Amino acid sequence: MKKYFSIGVFALLILACSTNPFTGKSTLNFTSNDQIFPTAFAEYDQFLKENEVIKGTKDAEMINRVGQRIANAAERWFNANGHEGYLKDYRWEYNLVKDEAMNAWCMPGGKIVFYTGILPICQDETGIAVVMGHEVAHALANHGAQRMSASQLQQYGAMAGNLALGLGGSSAQTVELFNQAYGVGTHYGAMLPFSRSHENEADAIGLRLMAIAGYNPDEAAQLWKRMSATGGEAPPEIMSTHPSNQTRIQNLKALAPAAKQEAAKFGVTSFK
């Protein structure tokens, strides 16, 4: 039984692999757009009903304008790189929500929210493009689906471990110790690094998109300097879902020249 369970999990991993068009790397994804997008759209609509959405202001219009430019840049990139129709199931929407949190997020399928609290950090349209590019990148790379798949795989691993220990006649105490160690080990050794890798990937993709859209990718590092200057206690990077601000700033500086080179392929050589 244990043998067949392991074979089943291995087969599931093979079948669940898809290719990230930006990186060319295989990614883990147990779900399709047809499965995850309708749920994400419904949850997004429910969120908007339960929160104060700001419409018609200069800031709200700017967020919508930047979002459309970033999405157009993404479509240009996909079409130019042999992925026509990649975005056919996406339903882009950009909303400004009244909330003091310095945050923005994107649900699978292109449903984006900016909180008013992040606007002072953005400062201007280019700053919004930094954040928008990053959030759009999460959606394009299917990071939400990948996180769900990784969580499922973590659960399968726990099931396999418990099954093996049970068949081996291990005591209840041994099983409990395994579950504690497995939970901590996979959280810090797999899930958190997995999340940080998504953040780094979204930064790299986001820079390319904002540059193709005509925004200066050099401003990304400046935005994160402003974010860092807001202070507040942050956990050590190894214990966080995100890279540290300093790591992010260094990475963004290093990635900006390549983003400009990518934009030049689309005839964009001057930036806002």
Residues 6+ apart with CB under 8 A from 147: 194, 195, 198
The answer to whether residues 200 and 191 touch, using CB atoms and an 8 Å cutoff, is: no
**pLDDT surpassing 50 at residue 170:** yes
Give the percent of the chain with pLDDT over 70: 70
Q: Of 45-49, 175-179, 191-195, 258-262, give the lowest mean pLDDT range.
A: 191-195
Choosing from 93, 135, 199, 201, the catalytic residue is 135
Helices (H), 81-191: 119-122, 125-140, 143-167, 172-186
| Whole-angstrom distance, CA of residue 235 vs CA of residue 242 | 10
**pLDDT one-digit tens code per residue, 242-261:** 678 889 999 999 999 999 99
DSSP 3-state helix, strand, coil percentages of the chain (rounded to 5)?
65, 10, 25
Encoded tokens for 269: 């050589």
Mean pLDDT of the region 47-58: 97
Q: How much is the pLDDT for 3?
A: 43
Q: How much is the pLDDT for 217?
A: 97
Mean pLDDT of the region 3-7: 41
* Three-state SS at 246: helix
**pLDDT surpassing 90 at residue 183:** no
| Whole-angstrom distance, CA of residue 68 vs CA of residue 65 | 5
Q: How much is the pLDDT for 11?
A: 41
Length of the chain equals 272
Q: Where are the domains of the chain?
A: 2-264
**pLDDT one-digit tens code per residue, 17-26:** 567 777 777 6
Q: Which string of DSSP letters, residue by residue, matches 95-115?
A: EEE---SS-EEEETTTEEEEE
Q: b vs e for 84-106, b when ≥16 Cβ sit within 10 Å of the residue's Cβ? A: eebbeebebbbbbbeeeebebbb
135 is catalytic: yes
Mean pLDDT of the region 64-72: 97
